[in-house]
Structure 1
Amino acid sequence: MIFTFLLLVVAGYWLVVLTGLLEPDDTGAHWLGLGGVPAGIALSLMIALAWLLSLVGSRLVSGPPLSAVPLVALVGAWLATRAALRPLRRLFAGERGTTRGDLVGRPCVIRTGEATNDFGQAEVTAADGSSAVVQVRTTGQDRLARGESALIFEYDAHGEFFWVMPYESEH
C-alpha cells in the first residue's frame, strides 16, 4: 500500500515534468548513496522497484513474515537501484552546467548604455552556445559603449560581477 501511493506520486511527478511545468532535479540523491544521476531518476527507479518487489513478496510470503515484506522490498530496491545506476552515471558525468569561471576569457558585448568601473551589463556566449547577460565592470577610467566588444578577464566573487577590458575580435 505504501509503495503504491509513492508510485502514484512518481507518476504524477513525471507527468508534470513532461508537460514542462517543472524541470527535473539535477542534483543527485547522494544522501541515499544514489548520487551521480538526477534525484528524480534515482528515486523513481527505487520506488518502482520497491513496489514490484513488495508485490512479488506479498504473493510469495504468507503469515507473520508478511509484515517484513515492505522492509525487505525497500532494501532490495535500494540495492538494485545502486546496481542499475552504475552504468547510468557515465551518461550524466559530462553534464555540467556553465559556471562563472567558464566565462572568464570569453568575449562579450556591452548591452547597457555604457559599462564603467561601477555599472554595466554585457551579453556573453558560453562554449555550449548558451548566452547570458552578466554584470560587468571596467578597470580605471575605461568606458565601453553599448554594442562594443569586451573581453572578460576575471570574476569578482565578492561583488558578483566580471571584470572586462576593450576587445577587438578578429572577425
Structure 2
Amino acid sequence: MSVNLSWLLNPFFADPAIQPTSIVVAVLLLYWALVALGTVELEFLDWNFELSVEADGGLLDIGLVPLRFLNLGTIPIMIWFTIFSVAAWVFSMLIHWEWAPTQPPGVVLAEACGLATLATKLITNPLRPVFDSPPPNLPETLIGQPCVVTSGRATNKGGEAHFATGQAPLILLIKSNSDEQLDRGQTAIITDYQVETNTYLVEAKNEETI
C-alpha cells in the first residue's frame, strides 16, 4: 500500500513562488539530520568565512561593512544561512498566500530574501557574544605573564623565549628591559610589547615580581 503525499508536498514544491526556498530548506534539513547522526561533520560546508580585515579605509574594507553588519564572519556560515533560508521560506509563503497573492514568483522571492536578511540580522544579534570571542594570546594579554628564555641568552639587544599556552608554546622575540642578561632556561616576566619590532620587553623573575 503506497502513501500519496503529493497533497502535502505540492504546495511547497510545485508552486513556483515557494519552490526555490522549499528546496533550499529541504537540503538544509537533510544536512542537519546527517550532522545529528554523525554521518557528516559539522564543518562540512561550513566554510571559513573570515572578515578580519584591518580598517585602513580601503575599498575592500568598506565593501565588507554590510557583511559585518549582517553578522557574517561572526556567526558560522551554515547557522547564519539556515536561519536566513527558513526565514525566506516563511516570508515567501506569507507574501504569496496572504499579503500579495498576485505578485510574480520572482518578486515574491526577492521580497522574501530582503525581509529574511533583516530577520536574520535581528535573530543572530543575540548570538554574537557566543561566537565573537577575541583571538587568544594577544600581545596585551601577555604582559605580566612569565616566559622561559630559550636562546643562549637574552639581553637588551635581543633574545628568544617560549610562552606556555597549554598547547604548542608561543615563540617570542624578547629583549631585556635593562642591562641585565638573562640565561637560557631562566624565567622572565613580560613587561611591555613593542609593536614596531614585534618584540616583548622582559625582566628577570624575582621575589618582588608577582
Q: Do both share a fold (TM > 0.5)?
A: yes
Task: Name stretches of at least 5 consecutive residues in structure 2 with no aligned partner.
Answer: 1-18, 53-63
Find the counterpart in structure 1 of residue 171 from structure 2: 133
Please identify which structure carries the higher strand content: 1
Q: Does 1:74 align with 2:74?
A: no
2:110 partner letter: L
- The correspondence of residues 113-128 of structure 1 with structure 2, limited to 5 A, is 113-125=152-164
1:31 partner SS: helix
Q: CA contact under 8 A between 2:87 and 2:116: conserved in structure 1?
A: yes
1:49 to 71, 78, 86: 86
- Give, in angstroms, the shift of residue 122 of structure 1: 1.2
Q: CA RMSD in A?
A: 4.0
Structure 2 length-normalised TM = 0.58
Aligned length: 163
Take 1:142 and 1:17, find their aligned partners in 2: how far apart are those partners? 52
Q: What per-residue deviation string (whole Å, max 9, x for no partner) do you get for residues 23-53 of structure 1?
A: 56485x7524223971434642454236534
Take 2:157 and 2:27, find their aligned partners in 1: how far apart are those partners? 53
Take 1:22 and 1:37, find their aligned partners in 2: how far apart are those partners? 10
1:165 partner letter: E
Find the counterpart in structure 2 of residue 104 from structure 1: 143
Q: Percent identity?
A: 21
- Give, in angstroms, the shift of residue 83 of structure 1: 2.1
1:49 partner letter: V
2:134 partner SS: coil
- Give, in angstroms, the shift of residue 59 of structure 1: 6.8
Task: Name stretches of at least 5 consecutive residues in structure 1 with no aligned partner.
Answer: none
Find the counterpart in structure 1 of residue 66 from structure 2: 31
Structure 1 length-normalised TM = 0.68
- The structure number with the bigger radius of gyration is 2
Q: Does 1:87 align with 2:87?
A: no
Take 1:152 and 1:91, find their aligned partners in 2: how far apart are those partners? 30
1:155 partner SS: strand
- Give, in angstroms, the shift of residue 121 of structure 1: 1.6
2:119 partner SS: helix
Take 2:183 and 2:27, find their aligned partners in 1: how far apart are those partners? 55
Find the counterpart in structure 1 of residue 76 from structure 2: 40
Q: CA contact under 8 A between 1:105 and 1:152: conserved in structure 2?
A: yes
2:43 partner SS: helix
Take 2:75 and 2:121, find their aligned partners in 1: how far apart are those partners? 12
